């Protein structure tokens, strides 16, 4: 039996952020995690809202939020909490040597692993796509010899379409000397670039293709495992901008962000209990007394005044569905909202112009992010629901995953 003021369940972006925001208010926090969370799998850029319900591109995210349907999590979170959350987040990132920038009223366009451009709002400097495109006459796409899941030629073709044929494009390959064993990953290359020998070799191999400020180097997510010092060193040595793309996992930038948040939690003295699956709760009417979590061989109760649920929804086991149309939230047994009717469950056009019905499965809340039932009545008064546990939005379709996670986590911690 452990007591703290706040228990946060979930170690993804939402859970880590909620725990940090609560700890910074001076509350004692216990964070319960199971698995690594989503950050090693996502690019660590903060999408706020890229597309509306009809898949129209959103020019101004904060303005578009006003027009979202009432059931969308942003409508409960509110614009003010979103703005405060962004300020909070940027402060944490800056303090931890990986400043994020961007704005809520326009999109930053960042290149993906296949050279298309995707809208996002906050990025570290190494991923600030559209800020560095203007004035670039030559784009050098940098491949890494032996790197898995990076296809330079596809990327170059797509970049030509996205950025215009009016520029010169070149594909080059850097040899890291890491080949010969298994396939190498972006993380291997980032570790190599953490070393002085790595950065020296990398810049030496690329120097011949640049030398002018109108050249842009586009590289996979490899510029160091922590902070943005490696990015600064390499761009200054090459004398021009270097830009990372989003990528397939493992995502180095997502892990940089994970380091920032975990290091900050440690600094604040937050107890992190890893590898513990929360399986139930002890309730008294509309109040949760404790959650029950599994240890290697037993169960343990974590008591708190307030609980923040950040278990990742449908994608991460935070919501399960053993029988069709019978979704369950296993910890608090919260009512789960979902799109009814088999015909509305999926959109067979995977990249089509309508959201996936199943993706909207989740928990509906009031403005304090307390879970509510179908009639809108709060079911548990000291539980707040954040991130992908929230219902009513398809984060993938509308490009709003980390934005909703950040804003809801911050607001829940401040309630």
Q: Which stretches of the chain bind another protein, using CB under 8 A?
A: 1-3, 30, 34-37, 40-41, 178, 180-182, 184-185, 187-188, 191, 249-250, 255, 262-263, 266, 271-277, 293-298, 300, 316-317
Q: Could you give the CA distance from residue 219 to residue 113 in angstroms, rounded to a whole number?
A: 9
Q: Which is nearer to another protein, 185 or 356 (CB)?
A: 185
Least Å distance, CB 27 to another protein, is 16
Least Å distance, CB 182 to another protein, is 5
Least Å distance, CB 263 to another protein, is 8
> Which pairing describes strands 299-309 and 287-294: parallel, antiparallel, or unpaired?
antiparallel
Least Å distance, CB 173 to another protein, is 18
Residue 375 CB partners (closer than 8 Å, separation 6+): none
The answer, yes or no, to whether the previous bond of 108 is cis (omega within 30 of 0) is no
| DSSP letter, residue 103 | -
Q: Could you give the CA distance from residue 303 to residue 322 in angstroms, rounded to a whole number?
A: 29
Q: Which is nearer to another protein, 279 or 368 (CB)?
A: 279
Chain centroid offset of residue 97 CA: 18
Q: For residue 293, give both structure tokens.
A: 């979590």
Least Å distance, CB 248 to another protein, is 8
Q: Could you give the CA distance from residue 143 to residue 53 in angstroms, rounded to a whole number?
A: 36
Least Å distance, CB 302 to another protein, is 10
Q: Which is nearer to another protein, 121 or 184 (CB)?
A: 184
Q: Which is nearer to another protein, 315 or 345 (CB)?
A: 315
CA dihedral (62, 63, 69, 73) in degrees, to 10, reads 10
Q: For residue 277, give both structure tokens.
A: 């699956």
Q: Which is nearer to another protein, 108 or 190 (CB)?
A: 190
Across the strands, what pairs with 192? none
Residue 125 CB partners (closer than 8 Å, separation 6+): 99, 101, 228, 231, 232
Q: Which is nearer to another protein, 2 or 379 (CB)?
A: 2
R_g of the chain computed on alpha carbons: 22
Least Å distance, CB 37 to another protein, is 7
Q: Which is nearer to another protein, 316 or 402 (CB)?
A: 316
Q: Are 51 and 399 in contact (CB under 8 A)?
A: yes
Q: Could you give the CA distance from residue 293 to residue 365 in angstroms, rounded to a whole number?
A: 24
Q: Which is nearer to another protein, 130 or 186 (CB)?
A: 186
Q: Could you give the CA distance from residue 230 to residue 235 in angstroms, rounded to a whole number?
A: 9
Q: Which is nearer to another protein, 60 or 187 (CB)?
A: 187
Least Å distance, CB 125 to another protein, is 23
Q: Could you give the CA distance from residue 313 to residue 322 in angstroms, rounded to a whole number?
A: 14
Least Å distance, CB 177 to another protein, is 10
Chain centroid offset of residue 244 CA: 16
Least Å distance, CB 100 to another protein, is 21
Q: Which is nearer to another protein, 141 or 293 (CB)?
A: 293
CA dihedral (346, 322, 40, 38) in degrees, to 10, reads 80
């Amino acid at each position: 039996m452990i007591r703290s003021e706040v228990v946060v369940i979930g170690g993804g972006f939402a859970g880590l952020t909620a725990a940090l925001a609560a700890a910074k208010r001076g509350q004692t926090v216990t964070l319960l995690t199971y698995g690594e969370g989503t950050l090693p799998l996502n690019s660590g850029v903060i999408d706020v809202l890229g597309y509306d319900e009809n898949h129209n591109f959103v020019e101004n995210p904060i303005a578009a939020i006003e027009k979202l349907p009432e059931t969308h999590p942003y409508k409960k979170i509110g614009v003010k909490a979103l703005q405060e959350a962004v300020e909070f987040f940027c402060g944490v990132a800056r303090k931890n040597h990986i400043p994020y920038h961007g704005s809520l009223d326009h999109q930053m366009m960042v290149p993906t692993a296949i050279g298309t451009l995707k809208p996002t709002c906050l990025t570290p400097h190494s991923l600030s796509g559209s800020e560095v495109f203007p004035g670039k006459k030559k784009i050098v796409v940098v491949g890494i010899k032996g790197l898995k899941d990076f296809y330079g030629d596809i990327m170059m073709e797509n970049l030509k379409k996205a950025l215009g044929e009016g520029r010169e494009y070149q594909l080059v390959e850097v040899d890291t000397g890491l080949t010969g064993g298994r396939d190498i990953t972006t993380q291997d290359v980032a570790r190599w670039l953490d070393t002085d020998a790595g950065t020296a070799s990398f810049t030496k191999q690329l120097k011949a293709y640049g030398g002018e400020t109108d050249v842009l180097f586009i590289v996979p997510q490899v510029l160091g495992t922590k902070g943005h010092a490696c990015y600064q060193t390499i761009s200054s040595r090459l004398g021009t901008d270097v830009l990372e793309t989003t990528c397939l996992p493992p995502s180095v930038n997502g892990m940089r962000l994970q380091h920032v948040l975990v290091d900050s939690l440690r600094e604040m003295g937050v107890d992190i209990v890893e590898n513990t699956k929360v399986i139930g709760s002890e309730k008294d009417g509309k109040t949760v007394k404790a959650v029950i979590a599994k240890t290697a061989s037993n169960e343990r109760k974590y008591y708190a005044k307030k609980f923040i649920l950040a278990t990742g929804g449908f994608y991460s086991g935070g919501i399960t569905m053993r029988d069709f149309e019978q979704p369950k939230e296993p910890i608090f047994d919260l009512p789960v909202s979902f799109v009814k009717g088999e015909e509305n469950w999926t959109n067979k056009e995977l990249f089509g112009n309508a959201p996936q019905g199943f993706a909207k499965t989740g928990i509906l809340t009031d403005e304090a992010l307390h879970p509510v039932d179908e009639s809108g009545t709060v079911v548990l008064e000291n539980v707040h629901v954040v991130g992908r546990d929230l219902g009513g939005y398809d984060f993938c379709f509308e490009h709003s995953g980390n934005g909703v996670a950040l804003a809801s986590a911050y607001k829940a911690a401040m309630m």
